[in-house]
Structures are given as C-alpha cells and as structure tokens.
Amino acid sequence: MSGPLSLSITATDGPARVGTITTPRGEIQTPVFMPVGTRAAVKTLDTGDLERLGPPIVLSNTYHLMERPGADLIEKMGGLHSFMDWSGHMLTDSGGYQIFSLEPKISEDGATFKSVYDGSKVHLTPERSVQVQEQLGADIAMVLDVCPPLPSTRQVQVDAVERTLRWAERSKVAHTRADQAQFGIVQGGVDPELRAMSAAATVDIGFDGYAVGGLSVGETRDEMIPALAAATAGLPVDAPRYFMGLGDPIGLVEAVAHGIDMFDCVLPTRLARHGTALTSEGRLNLKNLRFREDDRPIDPNFDHPLSSRFSRAYVRHLLNTNESTAGRIITLHNLAWLADLTAKMRSAIEAGTFQQLREDIWAAWDGKASPA
C-alpha cells in the first residue's frame, strides 16, 4: 500500500464487484453500507451497539462537528476515534450537502450561511473543511463540493461542476495528513454528459477514491441510473467508488450493479425512529394494527440476536406508548438487515448470481423484475 488507501478487487459479476479496501487502520470488505453517525453517534445507539453490529466503517458530519463541540475540542480529545471510543474506520463528509440545504451565499472563496445552532454567520472554505477533517482524524475525508438541488437548470449544474472542480484542486493542495485518504466528488445532476465530464476532470486531479454526489435527492430512478452509469464509467477501476446518501435496497443493488463499492444514508435510522422496518417483505410500518397480536420477529426470514428476540407485537406496543426503546430496536434491526444485504451481494457476485439477487430485491421492494 503506497498511499493511505488501496483497493483490491477479488470478484466481479458484470460491473458489480467485490473488493477489499486497505488502510493503516485495517480492511473494509466491499460493497459496504456505512451507518451515519452525524454528531459522532448513530442515533439511539452507542459504540458498544456498533461493535456488536460490526460495521467496518461509520460516517460523521464535518459541519455539525465543527459547530458542536468544535474541531479543536475533538482534536484535543485525541480525534473522533478516541472521542467516541470507536476502533473501526471513520469517514467524514465535507458538510457540503448540509450546507446547501441552508441556502448559503456561494462565492469562489467558499460558502457563507447561518448556523443551525445559534443563527450566527459561518463561512466554510475548501481549505477549512480539509483542516477540520484533519483535526477530526477520519480515515477518509471528503472534499467540499457544490451540491445544487434537483431539478436545477443546466447552467446551475455546469457552474456547480466547474466550481466543485476548482474547490477539489484547492482541497488536494490543502490536504497534509499522510494517514488520511481524500476522496473527490463527481457532480452533474442527472445530465450524463456533465457527469462524464465531472468524473474525467476529477480523476485528472487525482484522489484516493471517488464519490458520486448530488443524486438520490428526489430524482426518479430512471433519471438517476443513466447519470450514475455515466459517472462510474469514467472512474478508475482500482479506486473505491462511493455513492453519497443512498440507503434504499433497490437503490443499493442498482448502485452495486453499476460498480459502486460504498454507500451511506440516514434512511435506516430515520425510518426506525418512525416505526418502519426494512424486511424481506419490503417496508413494514410496525405501528399498524395488524401487528397487535403478531408474535413473529420483525423479519422472520432474518435472524439476528440484536432484534429477532422481540416480537412485532412487542415493538408495536413500544411504538404506541412512545417508548424510545422501539426506535432503538428497529434501528439495530435495520442496520443489521442492510449489513446482511451487502453480505448477500458480495456472496452473489462471487458466485456469479448477482442478477438473480437483483431481481429478488426488485420483486420484494417494487413488485416487478429489475432492469437487465
């Protein structure tokens, strides 16, 4: 391993691939789903829960940690790993997506916006984002990108792509930690031509890995897939590919079908807090009356010690009496279920049966066969 990260591909089935990412901290088997711990904690869980779930990597948010408790404090506490007592890998996003949800003022220098905590003015530059992530000590850091909403005009997307590239160049120059990998981000909305251009130019700058940003933000799947395909076609085969903010089962299996290795999303934890479980039957809203006397586990086809011991009837009771334990149980289930799905994808790719798994996921979650 010559740099802070390397990728070894061990099996393929069409564009879908199985690999091992190696860092100074250890190995990550891909495809991999990364639970989101925005403020250095996955909601309703603690580090012991994560250790029992076993994800090799967790994501945290640069912007939120920069605001509370502050990068200086986390650095003083020994970095994110020490702060939350987590020995696995950490990825920090740049805060770009969260910032652009705050309707910032964008200049060539950076983004200016109001703090979600106290309304004060915050100015974040690509260099500052790099500095904060180096202080946090993540194993993988993301460049600051421009993430416009969808739909946007072509000119807005063109401007976002071009500025993201200029910011990426600055981010690479600013990056100094030899033990921290840095990923570039491909933008371009749902325009395949822009996606291809962004991918090629980002690769020319040169990063340890590459992310696809600005998708899974409300566009249709028919719009998303051509844009994703155009982006991944231009990325090197020997570097990790990361789809940012993707967490639904069909989305995951389609991303893997197009060569993606990594994904993250708040979906499984957010759904859990509202009583919805991911299962082999699709989404289940466990608040429904039909589960009142259902003594089966959340998903009878998925046996996991952290959640299978509890019946649907019990979880429904907790939900309907506003017991926070319900959200915790379903969060554990949803994250374990997604980890199992990615393990099944790895096994199917190795066996050459990925297309059958893809069709099974579509049938369970959409009621029809997947695209070829």
Q: Is 93 a catalytic residue?
A: yes
Phi-psi region of 214 (alpha: psi -120 to 50; beta: other; left: phi over 0): left
* pLDDT number for residue 165: 98
* pLDDT number for residue 173: 98
Which positions ≥6 away from 177 have C-beta within 8 Å? 4, 134, 141
Q: Is 295 a catalytic residue?
A: no
Query: Which CATH number belongs to the domain containing residue 202 in this structure?
Result: 3.20.20.105
In the chain, DSSP assigns E strands to 6-13, 16-23, 26-30, 32-34, 57-61, 89-93, 105-106, 111-114, 121-124, 140-142, 181-186, 209-212, 241-243, 262-264, 276-279, 282-285
* pLDDT number for residue 369: 53
Residue 114 domain-assigned?
Answer: yes
Residue 365 domain-assigned?
Answer: no
Residue 369 domain-assigned?
Answer: no
Residue 93 domain-assigned?
Answer: yes
- Find tokens 């050459």 and name the residue: 352
**What Å distances lie between residue 364 and 13, 16, 287, CA to CA?**
22, 20, 21
Domain that holds residue 344: 271-357
Domains in the chain: how many in total? Answer: 2
Q: What backbone phi and psi angles, to 5 degrees, belong to 99?
A: -60, -45
Tally Cβ neighbours within 10 Å of residue 161.
24
Q: Where among 265, 287, 312 does a domain terminate?
A: 265
Domain identity same for 124 and 213 = yes
Residue 1 domain-assigned?
Answer: no
Residue 363 domain-assigned?
Answer: no
Q: Where among 238, 265, 292 does a domain terminate?
A: 265
Amino acid identity of residue 136, one-letter, is: L
* pLDDT number for residue 352: 98
**What Å distances lie between residue 180 and 25, 38, 213, 360, CA to CA?**
10, 19, 20, 38
Q: Where among 223, 248, 265 does a domain terminate?
A: 265
Domain identity same for 257 and 304 = no
* pLDDT number for residue 97: 79
Domain identity same for 195 and 297 = no
Output the six-digit token pair for 18.
Answer: 């199985």
Domain identity same for 204 and 299 = no
Q: Which of 13, 93, 208, 261 is catalytic?
A: 93
Domain identity same for 84 and 230 = yes
Q: Which of 139, 145, 208, 264 is catalytic?
A: 264
Domain identity same for 251 and 289 = no
Domain identity same for 343 and 317 = yes
Domain identity same for 249 and 118 = yes
Q: Can you give the pLDDT of all 372 residues of the chain as single tens digits?
A: 668 999 999 999 999 999 999 999 999 999 999 999 999 999 999 999 999 999 999 999 999 999 999 999 999 999 999 999 999 999 999 877 777 778 899 999 999 999 999 999 999 999 999 999 999 999 999 999 999 888 999 999 999 999 999 999 999 999 999 999 999 999 999 999 999 999 999 999 999 999 999 999 989 999 999 999 999 999 999 999 999 999 999 999 999 999 999 999 999 999 999 999 999 999 999 999 999 999 999 999 999 999 899 999 999 999 999 999 999 999 999 999 999 999 999 999 999 999 999 999 999 998 755 555
Determine contact, residues 247/271, Cβ cutoff 8 Å: no
In whole angstroms, give the CA distance from residue 264 to residue 362.
20
Determine contact, residues 273/44, Cβ cutoff 8 Å: yes
Output the six-digit token pair for 277.
Answer: 């479980």
Domain identity same for 38 and 66 = yes
Tally Cβ neighbours within 10 Å of residue 54.
10
In whole angstroms, give the CA distance from residue 285 to residue 282.
10
**What Å distances lie between residue 282 and 86, 278, 301, 339, 360, CA to CA?**
32, 6, 12, 16, 11
* pLDDT number for residue 149: 87
Amino acid identity of residue 356, one-letter, is: Q
* pLDDT number for residue 1: 66
Q: What is the pTM of this model?
A: 0.96
Domain identity same for 21 and 82 = yes
Residue 371 domain-assigned?
Answer: no
Domain identity same for 323 and 252 = no
Domain identity same for 184 and 316 = no
Residue 238 domain-assigned?
Answer: yes
